[in-house]
Amino acid sequence: MARLVFSLNLVPSSHGFNLSPRNHQTLFVTQTGGAPRFRGVRCQANPESSSDSQEKLVVDDASKEVESSQAAASSSSGFPESPNKDINRRVAAASVIAALALFLSTRLDFGISLKDLTAAALPYEEALSNGKPTVVEFYADWCEVCRELAPDVYKIEQQYKDKVNFVMLNVDNTKWEQELDEFGVEGIPHFAFLDREGNEEGNVVGRLPRQYLVENVNALAAGKQSIPHARAVGQYTSAESRKVHQVTDPLSHG
């Protein structure tokens, strides 16, 4: 806080007060960080003057007047006031929800699950005998990565289903123990890519960019002798965690 003291010599006149060396007046100004605050202005005529009149002028709390004038100027400028914090929070929350909904709608394709893939999959034995290349996915219902990749696998299957077989083998099913050993399945999801004769060209394990699957399946559909991603491993779930159970449906290929 700064306190400034000014000494002025004022003489009353018909137009107000004039400077005079005979009068000694004091102006106290106190500033606390904002607009100056005038504590008081006292003006008194010269005691030696023939006039006994005494004039007094007091200006209290001038900072309030300054603030009021600034507020009035802001209102008259035509600029809208800033929204309060509550409105800001609501706008931010709505933006986050909208962005999340857009991401989920484009990335996850609600409604596609492992059960949908299993229902549309071809039986393993039939896939090996129809003369088409095959993609075999080893999965489990409790595998989070498997569930996450289901929409992408579904899209690829819909695009290439006329040229490539898609097979789903559940690692919980003891029926596929031999295939688990044959393809060396240690983590799921495990995608094995087989040529038209049923020979494995390579495999992809775990969560990897969708393009890996697309390019491999495209190579199979085109009848190429090799696939671009013959061995790639991402984040996966250990196949050792599988909950082995007996086949309840003899016709099931899942």
Q: Which residues are annotated as catalytic?
A: 143, 146
Q: Chain centroid to CA 51: how far?
A: 79
Cis? peptide before 36, omega within 30° of 0? no
Q: What angle do the packed helices 210-221 and 144-160 form, to 10 degrees?
A: 40
The rounded distance, in Å, linking the Cα atoms of 140 and 254 is 9
What is the C-alpha separation between 86 and 139, in angstroms, rounded?
A: 47
* H helix runs in the chain, sequence order: 62-76, 85-107, 114-120, 124-127, 144-160, 177-182, 210-221
Strand partners, 6: 27
**Residue 68: CB atoms within 10 Å:** 10
Report how far apart the first and last C-alpha atoms of the chain are (Å, whole number). 81
Q: Are 45 and 54 in contact (CB under 8 A)?
A: yes
Cα separation values, 217 from 48, 88, 168, 183, Å: 111, 48, 15, 18
